[in-house]
Structure 1
Amino acid sequence: MVAKGDKINTDFTLKVVRGGEEQEVQFSELLDKPAVVSVYMKNNTGSCDKQNKSLAEHAPVFAEKGYNLIALSKDSCGSHKKYADKLGISYILASDPEHAFSSATDSIVEKKMYGKTYQGPSRSAFVIDTDGTVLGVIEKLKPADHAAELIGLIDSL
């Protein structure tokens, strides 16, 4: 996994839902100011809902501090639009079914479910500067207290 001070490759494409609209963007375009990227597994699941409810509740704080807030999963933009409406999400939801972001941050890990082993993105969060430099990482986040964790990390930078 990348560490503070590492620079990631930002030259990959994502589909995002921003302001209720679906767009295809280069990740670097989302770095017009520093960004917080929160990786979660799937819309409408217990821990992921807690993670995003925490972010939705505190989204204005990230904006006041000058950060883009991005939550990223493998879900489609169609699913993200419904999810944003359901949870009152005003920040960017990114669709990354090919795990381009997790590859760029070297955060693909071995997982196990129902006795099967597979590779997938870690539930983690990254603070990334406009040039792709990693300012901070939370490797194992706490879904219900996620926004507080991130705000604490930002305040410590």
Structure 2
Amino acid sequence: MIDVNDTIDLNFPVRFVENGEKREGSFSELITRPTVVSVYMRNNTSSCDKQAKQLQVVAKELDTAGFGIIALSKDTPGSHLKYASKHELSFPLVSDPEHAFAKATQSLVEKKMYGKTFLGPTRSAYLIEPGGKVLGVVEKVDSAAHAEQLRELVGS
């Protein structure tokens, strides 16, 4: 996993949902100020729903303090559009089915489910500034207490 003060390459293409619209662009375009990138596994699952709701709890507070929020999973933009509407999420949801962000942060790990082995991203969060410098890392997100983890991450 990438460390604090390392710089990651944010110039990879993504599709995302922002303000109720599906869009495409470079991931770097989404990082216009210090931004928390919270990685979760899948929309409409218990732990991921808790994590997303915790992001929304702290979204306005972080915005006021000068920080952005991005949630990222492998779900499609269509799924993200429904998910954002269902949970009234105010931040971008990025679709990353190829795990480009996990590769950039060196957080792609082997997982096992139902007897099958596959590679997937860790449930983690990163504080990244424009240009890709990593300012902080939450290596293991606690879905139910993610808002508090993010407050500690940004120092508020």
* TM-score, normalised by the number of residues in structure 1: 0.96
| Structure 1 residue aligned with 2:76 | 76
| Structure 1 residue aligned with 2:103 | 103
Deviation at 1:65, TM superposition (A): 1.3
Greater mean alpha carbon deviation, residues 25-34 or residues 72-81: 25-34
What code does the residue aligned with 2:89 have?
Answer: I
| Structure 2 residue aligned with 1:144 | 144
1:28 aligns to what SS in structure 2?
helix
Structure 1 runs (4+) greater than 4 angstroms displaced: none
Written as runs of structure 1 = structure 2, the 5 A alignment for 1:56-75 is 56-75=56-75
| Structure 1 residue aligned with 2:2 | 2
Q: C-alpha distance in 2, partners of 1:128/1:116?
A: 33
Cα RMSD, aligned residues only = 0.9
Written as runs of structure 1 = structure 2, the 5 A alignment for 1:15-54 is 15-54=15-54
Ranges in structure 1 where 5+ consecutive residues have no aligned partner: none
* TM-score, normalised by the number of residues in structure 2: 0.97
Deviations 1:123-155 (A, max 9, x none): 000000111000001111100111110111101
- Determine what percentage of the aligned residue pairs are the same residue: 54
Deviation at 1:115, TM superposition (A): 1.9
Q: C-alpha distance in 2, partners of 1:72/1:140?
A: 15
User: How many equivalent pairs are there?
Assistant: 156
Deviation at 1:58, TM superposition (A): 1.7
Q: C-alpha distance in 1, partners of 2:139/2:152?
A: 14
Ranges in structure 2 where 5+ consecutive residues have no aligned partner: none
